[in-house]
């Protein structure tokens, strides 16, 4: 399982800033961590629940913590983080980065979102079921 710092470093690497990863100051890393936490909170609100360890408050977040996400979600997360960080770094994204971020987000959206009404086990009206046949 990747740490939050590894996700941030991979995002900066995607922005062609890999050579400066070790020169990133604490403020830059903290800002990127808040961007990552915000992005993952937004995804959670959209129903994309992949196990990311969201902090209770921004001050509770620690860059050395495990991210909590499965290995298969690492690339979509850091690619989308790179998209979010690009404008603040004055970087122009390549079409390949944008496409990979979009594909990864859509894949996570398809896998992680639980359709409404699926948890009760009862058939849904309108899914070929008539209200007079449900009981």
Query: Tens-digit pLDDT profile for the chain (135 aa)?
Result: 999 999 999 999 888 765 555 577 889 899 999 999 999 999 999 889 899 999 999 889 999 999 999 999 999 999 999 999 998 888 888 899 999 999 999 999 888 765 555 555 555 555 555 555 554
pTM attached to this predicted model: 0.79
Residue 38 lies in a domain: yes
At 3, give phi and psi (nearest 5°).
-85, 165
Domain count, the chain: 1
Give the pLDDT confidence score for residue 37 in this predicted structure: 97
Host domain of residue 32:
4-115
The CATH code of the domain that includes 99 is: 1.10.3230.20
> Between the CA atoms of 22, 65, 54 and 28, what dihedral angle is there, to the nearest 10 degrees?
-20
Residues paired with residue 129 on neighbouring β-strands, in sequence order: 125
Give the pLDDT confidence score for residue 25 in this predicted structure: 83
Rounded to 5°, the CA angle 69-74-80 comes to 110
> Rounded to whole angstroms, how far apart are CA atoms 22 and 57?
27
Give the pLDDT confidence score for residue 18 in this predicted structure: 54
Residue 125 lies in a domain: no
Q: How many CA atoms lie within 13 A of 60 on its CB side?
A: 5
Give the pLDDT confidence score for residue 15 in this predicted structure: 86
Residue 122 lies in a domain: no
Residue 134 lies in a domain: no
> Rounded to whole angstroms, how far apart are CA atoms 97 and 10?
12
């Amino acid at each position: 399982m990747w740490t939050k710092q590894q996700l941030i470093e991979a995002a900066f690497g995607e922005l062609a800033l890999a050579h400066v990863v070790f020169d990133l100051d604490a403020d830059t890393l903290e800002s990127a961590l808040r961007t990552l936490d915000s992005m993952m909170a937004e995804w959670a609100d959209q129903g994309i629940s992949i196990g990311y360890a969201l902090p209770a408050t921004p001050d509770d977040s620690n860059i050395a913590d495990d991210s909590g996400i499965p290995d298969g979600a690492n690339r979509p997360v850091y690619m989308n983080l790179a998209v979010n960080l690009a404008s603040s770094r004055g970087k122009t994204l390549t079409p390949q980065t944008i496409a990979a971020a979009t594909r990864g987000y859509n894949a996570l959206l398809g896998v992680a979102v639980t359709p409404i009404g699926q948890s009760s086990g009862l058939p849904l009206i309108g899914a070929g079921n008539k209200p007079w046949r449900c009981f």
